[in-house]
Every structure is written in C-alpha cells, then in structure tokens.
C-alpha cells in the first residue's frame, strides 16, 4: 500500500494498493483472455455503444463524488472539477460511444475478379499510462477510443492521482463492461509502469507524461516485443503577440487563463509570450495585474480559481526554477513565492517574469507551474524564430488583426495545435498532440481510432 496525499492540506486521503510486476501480469493476462474470448472485441458495435453510454450516465449520476475525489486528490479547484474535469471525461466517453457504430470500412479498387475489403480491427491489449495533471480527462481520452474499438485495457494512473481512475473502473463494471476488459493497476512508475511497458502480451502503449519517461517506453517496447507506442509529452507553448493585435485586453485574458488555469500544470499551458518590442511594456503591465488578481485559494471553496499544485515536492521544484531564472537575469514582475491559503498545502503565487536570454532554462524547459515568461521580439520573423526555438511543439497561438499575417505565422509555427486570436479552444472533434519532443500520436477526434486499431485487408477471389 502507499499513502495518497492531498496537496490541499497535506493530509492522507487514501491508502492505495501498490501494484507490482505480478499484479500487472495478472491484469494483462485477464485483459488478454477477455480479448481472445471476443466477448467485447467481437461484440456488435451497438452493444459496445450501449455499455459505454450507460457508463457515461453513471458518471453523471456520480459526478459530485468524482469531482470531490479529483479535487482532493490533485488540488483542482472544485468548480473546475465540477464544470470541466467530470463533464469532459463523461462527454469523451459518450462521443466515442456515439461514433463507433458509424465508422465504415473500405473496399479497395481491384479488377473484376477480386473483392478487397479494408476494415479496422482492435489491436488487442492496450497499456495506458497516465500523468497526474488531468487524471479524469486524460484517462477518458485513452479509455474511450481504446474500448470503443474493442480493445482490452490495463491502465496505470499516476501515483499522485489514482482515485478517479479506480472510481471510473467501478462504474464501468456497473455499466456492464465484461470482466477483464478494463483493469486499473495503481502504483509507481518503476514498479508497475515499466513491467506494463515491457510485457510481451501488451500490443500497444498509450502514454501521456514527460519526455524522459516517454522515451523509456520506446526503449521498453524495443527491448520486449516491439509493441506500438504513442506518446503525448510536454510543451512550452508560446503566444506570438504581434504589434497589430486587435484587442490587447482579450489577449491578456486568454494568456492569463492559458497559464494560470490548473496552476499551470497543463501540458499545452501557454507558458511563454513572445511579443513585438513596442508592446512589451503595456502587455507586461496588464499581465502583472492579471496575476495579482489570481489569488491562490482553497480548492474546496467554489470561488477559488487558482488551487494547489499537485504536491509539495513538485511545488519546491517550480519555486527552484523561478529562483534559478532570477539568477540567470530574468526580471521577476510578480509572484514567485509560496502561498498558504490552507495550512500544509502546496500553493504558489501566479508568477510573471521577463526572460532576457532565449537560451535560459526558464524559456527552454517545461515548468509545469503558474509561471509565465515574456520574451521580446524585434519583428514577426524574429517572433517566429523565438516561438519555434525550443525542443517542444505541442501548441502555440498567434495574436494579430491581419488575417493574412496570422495565417502566415500560424503556418510556420511547429506545433500540433495553433490558435489564432484565442487560446485553448478545442472540442472532442479536434485532434490533440504534438511534434518534436512533444511526442507523436493524437488523442481526441476520429483520428484517435487510428491509435487503437490496425487495418486488415481481406482479399476475396471472385
């Protein structure tokens, strides 16, 4: 067992089973059996749809419980857990349920003496390894398409945030998902994650987390059975703010929420602002004001917008990065310190700084906290170079009132998503993922079905 600590106040919220390699092996074998039986994989898609929709409605029925668990486990403000985390997870499951009986195969062009069918088939056993920042949402992004397409899944949540994945699995069983099709094994990365990554009966790993661990999964696959791996890794997403931005206040609002929502612990958080020189002062002033108004509060209080960071250890790391940035010559404009709205919790002030050297770690490395770095650009061309000047490529935004300029810049930003005059707008219908160090593979949309199926050709002689 291990203790699951709430970052709200440092208290122990649960004792959680500490999954071992043996537990992973049991879970994988159960998943394999269920898959080979065909009880789920070969079911009529309308049947899978029925079960998944029933699961979605059970999530609705238990929405308050799930929101409370998520908030206590990772420190999300309860209002966000209620309005964003739970409904997004639920909607994702319902979306793939609704889609799965409407996806057709193909007939390939052939001569008159043949019929060549191209259809999707599930891969088999999928191992899903999840980070702590959005446990409900990312779990749903993996489970919904993997299960809708007929796979069996073994899921390992992050050690900091196992509670809602376990609750979701209980509800899935209640919804009628057959035994063995979904298995959740909580535990630590080295003890449960690695054996899953190396298991010879796992056909696919879908991973969201850090670059370092993502690359380990490629290694595990290469050294075991060559299983498929998709990786959704971190980001250092830039806003490019051009001098002809139409509405600076609107940009400030989007930039502020884009970094301080979930205390900056978002893979695509807009953690950099690359701004044309003439606008630096007014933009920095407004962002500083925005950060001042973003006061850390008790996640259990419905009026809180900036909750806790996931753990004290993570908070210490974020504070250390800000301190090092100041040592590197960055100008701290606001924040930078620990806060204590609830005794014993892991809180930090919303922080804005101006970075002077694009090579500084505060510009190059993911902070995963409420820390925004402003970078000055000479012109649009320089802004593009600065925006693309990190190893990451998850998301970016352009702010300009000129539609031609905005599209020209957007086209040259290397990222899986580029927003124009907005930030963090998305839907289940749009794919999400990255390029470069941010990984490969896409969650959400019908394209995610590609990650959990292979194309089978059946050639018939006529």
- Residues in contact with Mg ion by CB under 5 A are 4, 73, 160
Backbone φ and ψ of 145, nearest 5°? -70, -35
Cβ closest to Mg ion, residue 11 vs residue 401: 11
Rule CB under 6 A: say whether 199 interacts with ligand NAP.
no
CB of 363 to ligand NAP, least distance (A): 16
What burial letters (b/e) apply to 376-396, b meaning 16+ CB within 10 Å? Answer: bbeebeebbebbbbbebbbbb
Residue 113 interface partner, choices Mg ion, ligand NAP, none, CB cut-off 5-8 Å depending on type: none
Interacting partner of 73 out of ligand NAP, Mg ion, none (Cβ under 5 to 8 A depending on kind): Mg ion
Q: Residue 436: which region, alpha, beta or left (left: phi > 0; alpha: psi -120 to 50)?
A: left
- Return the one option of Mg ion, ligand NAP, none that residue 208 interacts with (CB less than 5 to 8 A, by type): ligand NAP
| Interaction of residue 431 with ligand NAP, rule CB under 6 A | no
Q: Please tell me what DSSP assigns to residue 226.
A: -
What does the angle CA 291 – CA 295 – CA 300 come to, to the nearest 5 degrees? 140
Burial 201-234 (b: 16+ CB within 10 A, else e): bbbbbbbbbbbebbebbeebbeeeeebbbbbbbb
CA torsion, points 296, 299, 304, 307, in degrees to nearest 10?
40
Q: Which two tokens stand for residue 394?
A: 């998850």
The alpha carbon of residue 170 and the mean position of all alpha carbons in its chain are separated, in whole angstroms, by: 22
By CB under 6 A, the residues from 382 to 411 that bind ligand NAP are 394
Residues 244-283 contacting ligand NAP, CB under 6 A: 267
158, 175, 294, 372: which one binds ligand NAP (CB under 6 A): 158
CA distance 253 to 286: 9
Place of tokens 């250390």: 320
Element (H, E) at 258: helix 248-260
Q: Is 92 a catalytic residue?
A: no
Q: Which of ligand NAP, Mg ion, none does residue 4 bind to, with CB < 5 to 8 Å depending on kind? A: Mg ion
Tell me if 4 contacts ligand NAP by CB under 6 A: no
Pick the piece of the chain touching ligand NAP (CB under 6 A) from 129-137, 286-294, 323-331, 375-383: 129-137
Contacts of 457 (CB under 8 A, 6+ apart): 108, 116, 117, 118
Identify which of residues 165 and 181 has a Cβ nearer to ligand NAP in the complex.
165
For ligand NAP, which residue of 189, 317, 389, 391 counts as binding (CB under 6 A)?
189
Per the CB < 8 A criterion, the answer to whether 60 and 90 are in contact is yes
Could you say whether residue 193 binds ligand NAP (CB under 6 A)? yes
Is 267 among the catalytic positions? Answer: yes
3-class DSSP assignment, residue 88:
helix
Angle between helix 45-61 and 63-74 (nearest 10): 70
Select from 93-101, 151-159, 272-280, 354-362 the region that touches ligand NAP (CB under 6 A): 151-159
C-beta closer to ligand NAP: residue 279 or 367 = 367
CB of 291 to Mg ion, least distance (A): 26
Measured from the CB atom, the residue of 122 and 434 that comes closer to ligand NAP is: 434
User: Segment 406-425, which members bind ligand NAP (CB under 6 A)?
Assistant: none
Q: Which x/- pattern over 208-247 shows residues binding ligand NAP (rule: CB under 6 A)?
A: xxx--x--x---------------xxxx------------
Q: Does position 131 bind ligand NAP by CB under 6 A?
A: yes
| Footprint on this chain of ligand NAP (rule: CB under 6 A) | 129-133, 138, 156, 158-159, 188-190, 193-194, 197, 208-210, 213, 216, 232-235, 267, 366, 368, 394, 434, 438
Give me the active site residues, please: 232, 267
């Amino acid at each position: 067992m291990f203790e699951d600590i709430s970052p709200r106040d440092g208290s122990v919220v649960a004792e959680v089973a500490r999954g071992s390699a043996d537990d992973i092996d049991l879970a994988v074998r159960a998943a394999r059996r269920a898959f080979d039986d065909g009880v789920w994989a070969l079911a009529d898609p309308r049947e899978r749809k029925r079960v998944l929709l029933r699961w979605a409605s059970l999530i609705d029925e238990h929405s308050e419980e799930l929101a409370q668990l998520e908030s206590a486990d990772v420190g999300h403000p309860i209002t966000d857990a209620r309005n964003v985390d739970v409904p997004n997870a639920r909607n994702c499951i319902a979306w793939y349920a609704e889609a799965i009986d409407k996806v057709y195969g193909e007939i390939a062009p052939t001569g008159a003496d043949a019929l060549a069918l191209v259809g999707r088939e599930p891969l088999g056993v999928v191992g899903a390894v999840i980070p702590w920042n959005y446990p409900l949402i990312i779990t749903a992004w993996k489970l919904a398409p993997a299960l809708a397409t007929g796979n069996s899944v073994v899921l390992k949540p992050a050690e900091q945030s196992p509670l809602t994945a376990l609750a979701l699995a209980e509800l899935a069983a209640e919804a009628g998902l057959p035994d063995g099709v979904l298995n959740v094994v909580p535990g630590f990365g080295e003890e449960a994650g690695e054996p899953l990554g190396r298991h010879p009966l796992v056909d696919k790993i879908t991973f969201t987390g850090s670059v370092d661990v993502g690359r380990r999964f490629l290694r595990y696959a290469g050294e075991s059975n060559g299983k498929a791996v998709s990786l959704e890794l971190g980001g250092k997403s830039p806003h490019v703010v051009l001098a002809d931005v139409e509405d600076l206040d609107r940009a400030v609002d989007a930039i502020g929420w884009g970094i301080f929502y979930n205390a900056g612990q978002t893979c695509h958080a807009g953690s950099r602002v690359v701004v044309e020189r003439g606008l630096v002062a007014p933009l920095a002033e407004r962002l500083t004001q925005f950060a001042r108004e973003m006061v850390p509060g008790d996640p259990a209080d419905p009026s809180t917008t900036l909750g806790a960071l996931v753990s004290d250890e993570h908070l210490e790391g974020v504070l250390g990065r800000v301190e090092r940035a100041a040592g590197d010559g960055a100008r701290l404009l606001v924040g930078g310190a620990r806060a204590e709205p609830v005794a014993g919790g892991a809180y930090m002030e919303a922080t804005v700084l101006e970075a002077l050297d694009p090579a500084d770690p505060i510009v190059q490395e993911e902070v995963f906290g409420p820390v925004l770095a402003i970078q000055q650009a000479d012109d649009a061309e320089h802004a593009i170079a600065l925006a693309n000047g990190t190893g990451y490529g998850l998301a970016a935004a352009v702010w300009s009132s000129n539609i031609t300029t905005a599209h020209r810049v957007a086209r040259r930003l290397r990222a899986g998503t580029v927003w124009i005059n907005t930030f963090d707008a998305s839907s289940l219908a749009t794919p999400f993922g990255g390029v470069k160090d941010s990984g490969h593979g896409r969650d959400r949309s019908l394209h995610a079905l590609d990650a959990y199926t292979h194309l089978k050709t059946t050639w018939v002689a006529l």
